[in-house]
């Protein structure tokens, strides 16, 4: 499957085979590709809570308005971000770069994010969104289907997963083997409506 096929065939699947278990090897492959997703200043602020425990997933399902895919999919991934990743040993984000690059970029990180809570949150959501798309396309390439989810109580989910105070939840993604395909696409807006050339 090429990239265009994965984009075209990726759909939000709601009905999964609850007997299927994703292997550790496949999870490793999926996540090792996901962490290649770009982040600003390479701060890699995403954190992926991979939930396979049946009891925890029951609690998550209750917090997600009883949506069956939370427990029936092979895995539920909660995409979170560390709002303060930018200041937690930032040298490590550029450890393999040439010294001149490190010396230029590392000091810039703090100057961009310090005392800018709204930007920190915006960055968290951007990073989760990009990584989430990577998860869904990689899953499709690997023969799985997926479903991004915002239909849940974030306060309850945070309690269930013991979310640290300086972290935020972006959204959840379920990944598994489908029992039936997604509903037909609702309809895409024409490019003429969504593409603006040069200026509004």
Looking at residues 169-179, what average pLDDT do you find?
A: 97
Per-residue model confidence as pLDDT tens digits over 13-27: 999 999 999 999 999
Per-residue model confidence as pLDDT tens digits over 62-114: 999 999 999 999 999 999 999 999 999 999 999 999 999 999 999 999 999 99
Q: What strands, in cross-sheet order, belong to the sheet with 167-176? A: 46-51, 75-82, 167-176, 145-149
Closest by CA to 31, choosing from 183, 114, 125, 138, is 138
Residue 181 clears pLDDT 90, i.e. is over it: no
Per-residue model confidence as pLDDT tens digits over 33-72: 999 999 999 999 999 999 999 999 999 999 999 999 999 9
Residues 158 and 129: their CA atoms lie apart, in Å, by: 18
Residue 197 clears pLDDT 90, i.e. is over it: yes
In the chain, DSSP assigns E strands to: 46-51, 75-82, 145-149, 167-176
Residue 1 clears pLDDT 90, i.e. is over it: no
CB burial string 68-93: b at 16+ within 10 A, e below: ebbbbbbbbbbbbbbbebbeeebeeb
Looking at residues 116-132, what average pLDDT do you find?
A: 98
**E strand or H helix at 141, and its extent?**
helix 117-141
Find the radius of gyration of the CA atoms of the chain.
Answer: 19
For domain 3-180, give the fold.
Answer: NADH Oxidase (3.40.109)
Name the pTM for this structure.
0.95
Tokens at residue 112, please? 């961009």
Percent of the chain whose predicted confidence (pLDDT) is above 90: 97
């Amino acid at each position: 499957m090429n990239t265009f096929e994965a984009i075209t065939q990726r759909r939000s699947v709601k009905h999964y085979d609850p007997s299927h278990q994703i292997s550790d090897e496949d999870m490793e492959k999926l996540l090792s590709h996901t962490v290649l997703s770009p982040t600003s200043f390479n701060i890699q602020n995403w954190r992926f809570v991979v939930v396979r425990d049946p009891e925890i997933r029951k609690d998550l399902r209750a917090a997600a308005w009883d949506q069956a895919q939370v427990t029936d999919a092979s895995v539920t991934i909660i995409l979170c971000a560390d709002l303060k990743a930018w200041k937690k040993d930032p040298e490590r984000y550029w450890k393999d770069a040439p010294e001149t690059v490190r010396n230029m970029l590392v000091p810039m990180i703090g100057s961009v994010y310090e005392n800018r809570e709204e930007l920190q949150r915006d960055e968290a959501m951007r990073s989760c969104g990009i990584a989430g798309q990577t998860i869904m396309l990689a899953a499709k390439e690997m023969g799985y289907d997926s479903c991004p989810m915002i239909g849940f109580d974030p306060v309850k989910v945070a309690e269930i997963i013991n979310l640290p105070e300086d972290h935020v939840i972006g959204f959840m993604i379920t990944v598994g083997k489908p029992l039936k395909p997604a509903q037909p696409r609702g309809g895409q807006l024409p490019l003429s409506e969504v593409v603006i050339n040069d200026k509004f």
